[in-house]
Amino acid sequence: MERSLKDMEAIIDEKSVVERWSDYRLAYDNAHRSYRDAYLDGYKQVQQETQSAASAIRNGASYKAAPPASRDSVVDKVFGSGTALLP
């Protein structure tokens, strides 16, 4: 990733982005892939832990004692699809 960022910076400093677009795009793609790969495992782990926490809540006594009509909506506001914890 560091090499790709240096390549991109050099192309920008030379003011030759248009002329060297394919080189710039390759460096950008490599940096993006490196960044994604570095954080993908961490993201998957957070997703698994989030799902485990939601499951533990739904299996807990407090959840079971809550009014059935509203308990899922309360948990889903934090742990549901499209939230910060589970996009």
- pTM for the predicted model, two decimal places: 0.55
Separation of alpha carbons 73 and 36, rounded Å: 32
Q: For the chain, give percent helix, strand, coil, nearest 5.
A: 75, 0, 25
pLDDT of residue 44: 86
Contact residues for 62 (Cβ-Cβ < 8 A; gap 6+): none
Q: Tell me the pLDDT tens digit for each residue of 11-27.
A: 888 888 888 888 888 99
Q: Tell me the pLDDT tens digit for each residue of 43-74.
A: 888 888 988 999 999 999 999 999 998 999 99
